Structure 1
Amino acid sequence: MLGKLIKYDLISVSKILFPLHLALLVVTVLGRLSMALNLPQNAPLIVSLMLMLYIFGIIAIGIITLVVLVMRFYKNLFTSEGYLMHTLPVKASQHLNSKLIVAVLWSILDCVFIIFSIFILLVNQPWLNQISAANWAELKEMFSIIFLGGGNTMVSILFLCLYMLIANIYIFLSFYVSICIGQLMNKHKVLGSFLAYLVIYVISQIISVISMLFFGLSSLRGFPVQTLTFEYYRNLMTLSIVETLAFSIVFYLISNYMISKKLNLD
């Protein structure tokens, strides 16, 4: 049954998101053509407008993707659609899992579309060819130091991808749990969800700051200043991943409990 829910949710959101992402690629291709036609010398205004359109398009695509996926969760489970959805022989966790899987999947697709778009726009650009091998090596080393304390570059990339995946899950679950708490109100549920999100955000940030300060003070005692760019950053990233994962688990458990035990469709 979970597979059917995922298919239903995926089709529903894709009807909105897929055309928008295709539009971004069309704008990218037009921008690439304008660069190939040497429009910077002939029509700088057109190029400037297309560049602004491209930047705003990327920002808008990311925001719209998030809004559509969160609104899908709210409308499908806590509005008039919820009366039908909750009559299905499906557990609350399956509803939650379906929405979360589709949200994470489309977030990954969103990143793929954006990366592919930037690749189309920048591939074989003359200024990229001017970057020397030494510069690329320096960038790789900096990336490796920041994300894995100077370790293997491929491991660093996998480490970063893991963090981004967990952070993505955390973002959606923070919205989901806020909606679940807000729906307890008989009136102004959207306002209640917004206030719940603010409270959750403030509390999570306070906990994060306290844990980071504690980690920073305790770690500084164990690492000489010259080695802070290695083990220190790796441990900091590990702490961030563990903390984000812990928040995500708590948000998931609360959301599942609210949907299964405290559902309010009035």
Structure 2
Amino acid sequence: MHKYYNAVLGDLKQQLNHNDFTFFDFQLVCEDWSKNIFERPLEDFRLSTNFEVGLNIELAQHKPFDVLAHYMSYITTSTNEFYTCPPKNLKGKPIQRMCYVSDYKIKGYDKSKQSETVIKADILRYEVIYTELRKIRSSLGLSKTAEISLQTLNDKQAWHKLFTDIIKVYDAIKKIPLISEGYLLEDIPKVHAYCNKIMAADFKRNMNINTYNKLRASYKKVYNHYDRLPTNYHMVVRRKMIDKYNSLITN
């Protein structure tokens, strides 16, 4: 839909998706497809699977992949590791990291390196890719058998619910803090031990469960302290996400 808007309805007249796609742009595509291209109601455009929701965030202090390299794991009922994966930039350096969960994937990449001939700013692209309808239904507050169509998504409340979901996912990512000062040396290995799935597993294998749980709880306390500092750059990115979403929904 984004590429269609840029190629047909927007000013670019090219099949690109490097820029922002606003709620108003989405509505224009819905109207054009329904009334002009396919001549069918929006209810007929049903979602099947692999639905992507994301934001482009312009960074200043850090390069996008330097931020993404600090994404270690994603913790829900289990701990899921982040992996560096293709594609790479023109110089062969990595630009993307992903985490795989049963019903969705979390993806972050350097949008500016993916589209080097188009984007000059440092843009971090953060996405949640829903791979199962049940997860999308849950995020939208729908019943287990509800159909999801363009009509469902052509609603600001639906966008609000999806944004709430991707922020919830972002908050559950265990990210090594990006702090320029006030980071105690003795706390750094504790933070890494809490965020890193392999290190946590090594601890668990080599001590009894009570000792492990106490150690894990103490490391979590240290991590939460740094994670929630306003000066942690991941919190800066979070605020940028909120600002970007508000601009997409109102412009």
Work out whether the TM-score is over 0.5.
Answer: no
* Structure with the larger helix share: 1
Q: Which has the higher strand share?
A: 2
TM-score normalised by the shorter chain: which range applies? under 0.3
Q: Taking structure 2 as the reference length, what is the TM-score of the superposition?
A: 0.27
TM-score (norm 1): 0.26
